[in-house]
Structure 1
Amino acid sequence: MPAVRTCRYPNCHNLVTIDHYYCEQHRALEADYLKSRMKYHGTHKRGYSRHYNAINRHANKIKDAQEKFYHSKQWQELRRVVLDKQHYLCQYCLSEGRVKPAKIVDHCVPITFDPSKADDADNLDVICPECHYKKDKFESVYYGSSDGVGRNDVDPITEVKLVDYYMNHLDQIPKA
C-alpha cells in the first residue's frame, strides 16, 4: 500500500498519495501550493549554517561542551528516563496545581553554574515551553550569564515550588 497523507485543503479529510498534497476534488490548488513552497526553497544556504554554528552554537568552549553533551547517548537515555519518571508533565505547572503535558527536560540548577550536576537525574525536571522561557529569565537574573563569565555567587535553588515562585516574581529574587 502506498504512503498516504490527508488533503491540505481545510477540513478536507480525504487521503492522497504522498506525491500529492491535495485530493482529486482540490487538485487545482496544488500548482499554487508548490509555487509558494519554492519561494522559500534554498533560502538558508550552507554559509548560513556555518555562520550560525560559529557565532551561536560553538561560540565558546562551554557552549561547545554543552552541544556535545546534549547530543550524547548518555543524555538521550537520561532524558528518556526523566520523561518516563515524571510522566511527560510539566513539574512547574504541577506545583501550581495545573496539569500540562511537556517534552522538554531541563536542569534545575543550570550546568553552566554547576557542571558536576549535568548527568544527575535528581537535577532534571520536565518543563513546558512557557515555563522554560520564564525559567531562563529567572536563571539569567539569579545565576548570572549563561556563558559562566558573569556568574553570581549564590546558593543553588533545587526546590521546584520555590523556583516556580521566583520565575513568576522576578522582582522578589534574592540578591547575591
Structure 2
Amino acid sequence: MPRFRRCRQPGCHAMVQYPDHYCTRHYEHEAEYLANRQRWARAHQANYQRKYNHLTRNRTVSKSDQYKFYRTRTWSSLRKQVLERDHYLCQYCHKPNSKTVDHTVPIEYDSTRKADITNLATICRQCHRLKTDWEQSYYGTGQGNELKDVAQVTDLLTIRRLMNTKSDN
C-alpha cells in the first residue's frame, strides 16, 4: 500500500505520495528542497558520526576492540560457519531465517571467548533483544553498568528460560 504525507508548502494540505515532498501545484520546490537536505546532511554527517563513535562505539578501549573484532575476516568466517551449522534457525525460539550471530557469554564479560565457535549461536531479533536485557541484569554488561562476578551460563535452554522469565517480570 502506498504511503502518503502532506505537501511541505506552508498552507497547502494536499496529500503527496512518498518519496515526493511537494504536490503537483508546488512541485517546482522539490529540487531545491532535496538540494538543501543533501547540503545539510553533508555538513552535519561527520559531527553525528564522530559523536556516535566517541560516546557509544569507542567509549572505552575494550569496546573499541570489540567493534574492531566484528570487522575482521575471522568474525566473518565464524559467523558464516555458525549460520550454516544452525541452519539459520534461532537457537532460542527456532524461528527460521535468523541472520544474527550472538555470543552466548558476552565478550564484554569474557573477551577470551570471542573467537570460540562453541560460544556462538544464531539468534533472531526478538530473542536478541530479550537476551541483551537479561545479560545486562545478570552479567552487568552495557553502558553505565558494572560487571558482576557471576557464573557463566552457557546452556542455551537455561538462557532461554532465564531471559523469558526476566521478560515476564
Q: TM-score, normalised by structure 2?
A: 0.74
- CA distance 1:33–1:116, shift in 2 (3 Å): same
1:33 Cα deviation from its structure 2 partner = 5.7
Counterpart for residue 168 of structure 1: 164
After TM superposition, the structure 1 = structure 2 runs for residues 92-131 of structure 1, keeping only pairs within 5 Å, are 92-94=92-94, 99-131=95-127
Counterpart for residue 59 of structure 1: 59
Q: What is the Cα-based RMSD across aligned positions, in Å?
A: 3.0
Runs of 4+ in 1 over 6 A off after TM superposition: none
1:163 Cα deviation from its structure 2 partner = 0.4
Structure 1, unmatched stretches of 5+, are 1-8, 11-28
Q: Secondary structure at the match of 1:111?
A: coil
Counterpart for residue 132 of structure 1: 128
Q: Secondary structure at the match of 1:59?
A: coil
Q: Partner amino acid for 1:45?
A: Q
State the alpha-carbon separation in 2 of the partners of residues 166 and 116 from structure 1. Answer: 24
1:32 Cα deviation from its structure 2 partner = 3.0
Counterpart for residue 140 of structure 2: 144
Counterpart for residue 48 of structure 2: 48
Structure 2, unmatched stretches of 5+, are 3-16, 23-29
Q: TM-score, normalised by structure 1?
A: 0.71
Q: Partner amino acid for 2:99?
A: K
- CA distance 1:31–1:51, shift in 2 (3 Å): closer
Q: Partner amino acid for 2:142?
A: S
1:153 Cα deviation from its structure 2 partner = 1.2
State the alpha-carbon separation in 2 of the partners of residues 62 and 148 from structure 1. Answer: 14
Q: Does 1:76 align with 2:79?
A: no
Counterpart for residue 20 of structure 2: 32
Counterpart for residue 154 of structure 1: 150
In the alignment, is the contact (CA less than 8 A) between 1:166 and 1:172 conserved in 2? no
